[in-house]
Every structure is written in structure tokens, then in C-alpha cells.
Amino acid sequence: MEYPSKLIEEAVNQVSKLPGIGKKSALRIVLQLIKEKKENTFALTEALTKLRSNIQYCKHCHVIADQAECSICTGIRRDKSILCIVEDTKDIMAIENTGQYTGLYHVLKGVISPLQGIGPAELTIDSLIERVSKPDSIIKEIILALSPTMEGDTTSFYLHKKLKEFPVKITVISRGIPIGGDLEYADEITLGRSISSRTLFS
Amino acid sequence: MEYPSKLIEEAVNQVSKLPGIGKKSALRIVLQLIKEKKENTFALTEALTKLRSNIQYCKHCHVIADQAECSICTGIRRDKSILCIVEDTKDIMAIENTGQYTGLYHVLKGVISPLQGIGPAELTIDSLIERVSKPDSIIKEIILALSPTMEGDTTSFYLHKKLKEFPVKITVISRGIPIGGDLEYADEITLGRSISSRTLFS
């Protein structure tokens, strides 16, 4: 497509690099910004510039944070004897939203995926081992909360092998039929697993 | 949703103001920007800042442009005796992409829409009349290329009333069954109109 202006062309090119946005949506966004007050665009660019300039990763759990230590790791009400292992920051947000968990986290920053060239060394596994093996560690339980995919399961298996030498209980989040889900539409593997790992009715 | 960082929260709020982007997509975009190199974010913010600081409207046809005069109005190969009236810049891009038109344009910057409080005074109609009524005007034909909606038709009607006193031919783009469209699926109004405005087979 030809653009009537180089400024529009460059802005559309940049906006269409964002995930989930094609050239048509990018053009719509750019034309909308031109229609609106300048201040709206400047508020957006300032927020993104600040974000990218100042964002850090928590030195304990590697979550994306404003400071060198995140609000969860420094929270006085958190149970520091439980550690939940997740793939990325989005997973922490999802678990926090449930309100069911008060322990700490450890962000792996990915999962082992030989096809994408991601091995254990690319993840924060060394830092996890360090946290668990510290002489003054009070960690009693480690929850593996990775996605139920081939890569997630491989990573859980690897972590289990690395962690079983330490005096911690290793658990995994339960898999089964989603609440509100219909048996009829559940896939066979999930349904089979939910039968074999049935629990006492209480 | 609670965000682990104020910087993320502010960035998500700003990004989700863009048209077609909700909170979830905004979060995805923000987390992707954090994963990538800083330079990518800065290239995006720079393009948007430059766009919003420097963009202008062509003083003749009111299209969005880099300079005070657009490349179409100053183009030496354009036929300056034809003027195509469109609603906004996007329409010019669509017509230019067809490669079928070599005349000039006039952007109304909207259509008459009493429901949205847009009357003739909010549009660039005065500037259009000025272009046509200039003593040295060489405009011979005006093509009305507005959307076939209630508002578009109202605006075309209003423009026709205003322009008919000048010695110019006033035409309108043809409506009918789209090329490749199936008669079966055409709506009744379009099909009826395409029959009543039939042309000689050639």
C-alpha cells in the first residue's frame, strides 16, 4: 500500500511490528492518533519510554518489577516457605488474580524447548537451585505450575530431577476438567487423566 | 487485573486506549516490548512522536501530508481538471491503490451527521467552494466518492445543491454488485439499484 506521507508510513511500519497488529490495524491506529489531541500520543510514547528505560527484573524471583526487589518477595504477609515455579510474569498475574496463593514465586523466563534452542542454561534454573540450597533457606515446598504442554512437562521433569536431592516437597498443580467445562467436550487425554487422578469426594 | 509493576500498569492503560486494542492485547504488547531490545520500543515511540509533532494537512485538498502541500496536489502528472471528493485520507489511499484515477482530491474530513453533531460547517465545504469558484479555476468535473450510507448520501445531496451553480459536471461513483460478488448474496437495495442503473453491454 502507498501512504500519502512518509511520517505515516514510518509510524505504520513501527506499529505493525507489535504482536497481533497488521498493517491495516496499524494504519487505523495511526490515523486515530492524528485525529486526537497531540497530548494523547505523547502520553502513550512517554509511558512506553519510561517502561522500557526503567523496568527491571526482581533479583530474587525474576518477575518484571519497578525496583530491584518485587512487591511479592518483600511482602510481609507472604508465606516464604512455599515457592511456585512459573514460566513468565503473566502466569504470576493469573495466579495472583485467583487470590488462592500467598507464597513466593520463581519465574523461569521460559521452558526447555530444544526446537527453539532453549536449554536449561537459558532459564533461571541456577538461581532457583541457589535459592533452595542456601544454608538459611526456609523453603519447604516447591509447586511446579508450568503449562501442560510437551515443553512444560519436560521442564517439570528436569526440575524434579534437579530438586529432589533437597529436603523440599515437590508438588504440581492439578490437571483435569475445567470448572464449568462439559465432559462431552473435554479431550480424551484430559478426561483420562482426570479419572486416573481422581480424589476423594468431600 | 492487578499488575506486578506500576510501569506496566501505566503502559497497558495507554496502549489499551488505541482503537481495537483491549487490556489483554495491551498487556501482550507491553510484555513483548519488555522482552525485545530497548531500541525497538524507542524506534516506535520516536516514529509516533515525530508523526504527531510534524504531521500537517495539505492546504489545498486537506489530506494528511508531510508538507503544507501534498504530493498529489503538486504532482506534475495529475489531471488538475478533475476533483474527487472523499470523506478522509484512507479513501484517497484506497482510490490511489486502484491506479485508475489521475485527478486531484478534496478531503471533506467527515460527512454530515446530525446525530453526531457534524454539520456542513464542520467539514471543508467552504474551502471546496472556494477552489471551484476561483476565477482561474480549471476544474471541469467533480466526482462525489462518499460512502453509500445515509450520511454519505445526505452529504452528496448537499454538495450537489451547493455546486450545481458552477460550470462543472458533477458525477458520482457507480454503485452495484461488486466484481466477483454473487447475485444470490447481494442485498435487495444494491441489486435493485444495479438493475435500475444498468448500462449498455460493451
Non-local CB neighbours of B74 within 8 Å, separated by 6+ positions:
none
The reported pLDDT for the residue numbered B190 is 82
- The answer to whether the beta carbons of residues B82 and A41 sit under 8 Å apart is no
Question: Is B15 within 8 Å of A45 when comparing Cβ atoms?
Answer: no
pLDDT for the residue numbered A49: 95
> Whole-angstrom Cα distance, residue B122 to residue B112?
8
Q: How far is A145 from chain B (nearest CA, A)?
A: 18
pLDDT of residue A126 exceeding 80, the answer is: yes
How far does Cα A35 stand from its chain's mean position?
36
ipTM of the predicted assembly exceeds 0.90: no
Judging contacts by C-beta atoms under 8 Å, the chain B residues touching residue A13 are: 47
Closest chain B residue to A25, measured at CA: B20
Write the CB contacts of A137 (distance below 8 Å, at least 6 apart in sequence). A131
B90 contacts A27 by C-beta, under 8 angstroms = yes
CB-CB neighbors (< 8 A) of B41 in chain A: 48-49, 51-52
Pairwise CB contact (< 8 Å): A14 & B44: yes
pTM over 0.90: no
**Domains defined along chain B, listed by start:** 6-54 (1.10.8.420), 77-172 (3.40.1360.10)
For the range B13-18, what are the long-range contacts, defined as Cβ-Cβ under 8 Å and sequence gap of 24 or more? B13/A47, B14/A43, B14/A44, B14/A47, B14/A48, B15/A44, B15/A47, B15/A48, B17/A40, B17/A44, B18/A29, B18/A32, B18/A33, B18/A44
- For range B152-169, the mean pLDDT: 92
Condensed to tens digits (0 to 9), the pLDDT of residues A36-82 reads: 999 999 999 999 999 999 999 999 999 999 889 999 999 999 999 99
Q: What is the pLDDT of residue B126?
A: 94
Q: Do A89 and B10 touch (CB under 8 A)?
A: no
Q: From the candidates B3, B7, B34, which should be mutated to test the interface with A, based on the most A CB atoms within 10 A? A: B7
pLDDT, tens digit (0-9, with 9 covering 90-100), for B10-23: 999 999 999 999 99
Q: Which residues of B touch A44 (CB under 8 A)?
A: 14-15, 17-18, 48
User: Residue A157 has what pLDDT?
Assistant: 93
| Residue-level pLDDT at A2 | 75
Helices B23-35 and B6-15 cross at an angle (nearest 10°) of 120
